[in-house]
Amino acid sequence: MASSRPNILLIQADQMAANALAVYGNSTVKAPNIDRLAADGVVFENCYCNLPMCAPSRASMHAGMLPFSIGMYDNASEFHADIPTFAHYLRTLDYRVELSGKMHFVGADQFHGYEKRHTTEIYPANFAWSVDWSKGREHRPTNLTMAPIIESGPCVRSLQMDYDDEVAYHGLQALYDMARKGDDKPFMLTVSFTSPHSPFVIGQEYWDLYDHDDIELPAVAPLGLDEMDHLSRNLHYCQARHQFTVTDEHRRTARHGYYGMISYIDEKVGQLLEVLEKTGLADNTILIFTADHGEMMGERGMWFKQHFFEWAAKVPLIIRNPERWAPGRVKQNVSLIDLMPTMLDAGEGGPFGNYAAPIHGTSLVPALTGDTGAMSDVVISEFAADGSTGPSRMVKKGPYKLMWIEGVDTLLYNLDQDPLEVNNLADRDDHQHKRAELEAILFDGFDPDSLREVIIDSQKRRLLVHNATGGEPTYVNIVRADDNQRYVRNAGAADTKARARLPYMAPAQPDRSD
């Protein structure tokens, strides 16, 4: 079957840090199905998202282009309908292309090339969560604070379990339906979950997989304000860390919940694998497992994403099809924008040459065959979302990562020697050549001054539209009659998820004793 056009199954988790998985060195988490994927597949050891925030990361992944180049700045940036995605291109190759689950497309186009969406969206598809730099660093579009960390723990049911069970059901059913087609037309199916996104709340059966005392604390303790870079300080205030007291027990409990959520998603991965095998689809299906961004998980005292540090920006990437590619590991740097040309080359059976516009991603098919000699080993990530007060950019080449933080701070790390990113080399005399080399890459096509004005104009337009309309229409994909009222719509995500939890836990109150 390896000679026929392959099916493609893309499984995407939300906020799953590569560092939280055993295949990337984590010794606590229990995810046997993801481990099985890694054992049979090609593991990319250094894969990065291109903007550590949901909507821009997912849009750029679909477009094969860096986020700023397509106007994706934050979780309320419109993904414009005239940008070709891998879904469009695969349809030109006569693929059936379907989606079950979250994709956080913002704007009137909720398909972007997919022929069918099996579920509604979990998050707003309108401009409700627009960033507003004029309000400063404490502006919170989603009302995100430390409450989700302090309220982590087991539950009977959560909103995210509601959604992910729905996503899994429809994803499994789509595979059965594809298997029944009985023709030679290949499929590309995306199954995209919302877990293990915060809040870190999971059913008791998944919580009980772990001994609470075995949950490790973060490797890097919280930093003082004077030790933080500019963006980290912004996030400290944007996430209201100055208003809450987060203890070691809170940190351990949040990690416990996070690991339980990963085990829950791992169970879903196992279900999808089982259906592929039972239906005879496994041999000719390329399975891609990844995430949209990571989660800081208390490292440096930081939570959620919104930065370029490893826990936030590095994501798992495992590509599996033993009929085509032998298991292995690739150390060179890659990013999510490389998935588009990879899928298209695999679907074409050779280099795809019919792009309507240039892309920034590079096919990973040679690397899957063991040929890594031509890889650039360079990735770029960008940021202008919640917590920012200007645009930032990161470039990683080999083991060196350079972060340019709004023109205020520059950070340079050698990840081989300093995996915890605690030794900034940017001002060291013996690293000025490396800094200059990476800055040349970082500033190629990146003009932060003009970009700042473009982003501010975008924010103003979106905020006016949303304030004038109150968020109507919501734009969300409608599958059942009340979908425009289900899950998170115009309200803050943290509040909505908290109210949907069983048993309900009242929001944590800030500790203002200091």
Catalytic choice (62, 104, 112, 230): 104
Half-sphere CA count of 355, side-chain side, radius 13 A: 19
- E strands, 323-478, are 328-335, 378-383, 392-397, 400-405, 409-414
Residues in the chain: 514
CA-based nearest residue to 127, from 108, 112, 100, 102: 108
Cα dihedral 53, 56, 60, 63 in deg (nearest 10):
150
Q: 3-class DSSP state for residue 505?
A: coil
> Residue 383's beta-bridge partner residues?
392
Q: What is the DSSP string of 435-457?
A: HHHHHHHHTTT--HHHHHHHHHH
CA-based nearest residue to 160, from 190, 128, 192, 193: 193
Label residues 382-392 b or e (16+ Cβ within 10 Å = b).
bbbbbbbbbbb
431 is catalytic: no
371 φψ region: left (φ > 0), alpha (ψ -120 to 50), beta (else): beta
CA-to-CA distance for 473 and 495, rounded, in angstroms? Answer: 21
Contact 391, 385 (CB under 8 A): no
Q: What is the CA radius of gyration of the chain?
A: 21
Q: What count of other Cβ atoms lies within 10 Å of the Cβ of residue 314? A: 28
Distance, CA of 304 to chain centre: 11
104 is catalytic: yes
Contact 103, 190 (CB under 8 A): yes
CA angle 181, 41, 43 (to 5 degrees): 130
Catalytic choice (47, 49, 54, 238): 54
CA-based nearest residue to 87, from 62, 60, 120: 62
What tokens were used for 211? 């001994």
Q: CB under 8 Å to 217, separation ≥6 — which residues? A: 248, 251, 252, 255, 298
- Which residues are marked as active site? 54, 104
